[in-house]
Amino acid sequence: MLQRLAPALLLLLPMACGHGQTAYSVTQGLLRPHETITVRIARGTVNAYAPLVGDRSDRFTVEAFALPASSPPPPRIRAARGGIDVDAPALRLLLIRVPHGVNLRVISLGGDVNVTDITGDASVMLANGSANLMLPAYGQARNAGNGTITVLIGSAEWPGTLRFSNTKGDIDLSINENAKFRIHMHTDDGTIFTDFPLRGHSKGTSETIDGLVNGGASRGVDIEVEKGAIRLLSLAPQY
C-alpha cells in the first residue's frame, strides 16, 4: 500500500469547484475497493461523493476550502494500513470524492457531514452537527451533541449490527423494505414512528421497540436517542 500510494498522491494548487469558489489544497490518488478513507476534521462541513462522471473509478480527491480570512495548513494525508488517513484543520468545507467500493470513516469535532452515493459503507461520528447519508450500500452514525441524523440504506444486507445514536436530535432511518433484521429502538424523551409492522411500549417520556423485520436475521439495527424522535421507514428499492 505504501509503495503504491506514495507516487499516486498529487498535491495541486489551486482548483475551482462548481460553485465558483477555489480550493486552496487539492490532493488526488488511487485506492482499491474495500480500502478505507478515514477523515478527522477539527471543524467544518464534510461533503463526500462518488467520483465525477467520466473520472477514474479508483481515484480519490480531497479538496479543502478555507474559512473567510483564514490561512490554514493543508490537510495532512498519509498512507495507512488498508487505506489513507486525512487530518484536516478547521475549514469551511472539505470535499471528498470516494472511489468505487472504498469505505469512508468521518470523525468530526464540529460541523455537518453529508455523504451521497458512495458505493462503500460509511461510518460517521459527530461531536456536534448533523449527518445526512444517502447510501446505495449501508452505514451508521453517532452524534454526541446537537443535530439530526438522516440515513438512507439501499442494501438489504450488511454484516453484524448497524448502530445509530443521538444525544439531542432526531434520527430518521430509511431501510430497504426487503431487508431482514433484528431491530432495537429506544428514546429517553421522544416518540417512535415506523411503517414496518412493529409494536413497542412506552413509560413516561420514553419509548422502546424491539422486534423482527421480515422475520429477522443475524444482522441487526440499534437506534438510541436521549432526547428526540426516531423514525424508521421502509424504502422501496429502485430498479
pLDDT tens digit sequence for 215-231? 999 999 999 999 999 99
Place of cell 439501499: 154
Q: Check pLDDT > 60 for residue 54.
A: yes
* Predicted structure pTM score: 0.90
Helix, strand, coil percent content, the chain, rounded in steps of 5:
5, 55, 40
Which stretch of DSSP H or E encloses residue 230?
Answer: strand 230-235
Between the alpha carbon of residue 130 and those of residues 67, 112, 115, 177, 182, the distances in Å are 19, 5, 11, 25, 26
Distance CA 118, CA 3 (A): 26
Question: For residue range 93-128, what is the model confidence (pLDDT) as tens digits?
Answer: 999 999 999 999 999 999 999 999 999 999 999 999
Distance, first Cα to last Cα, the chain = 36
Parse the chain into domains and list their residue ranges: 2-120
Cα torsion 122, 149, 47, 129 to 10°: value is: -120
Q: In what order do the strands lie in the sheet with 36-41?
A: 76-80, 83-88, 36-41, 103-108, 122-126, 139-146, 161-168, 220-227, 181-189, 206-213, 201-203
Instruction: Give me the pLDDT at residue 83, please.
Output: 98
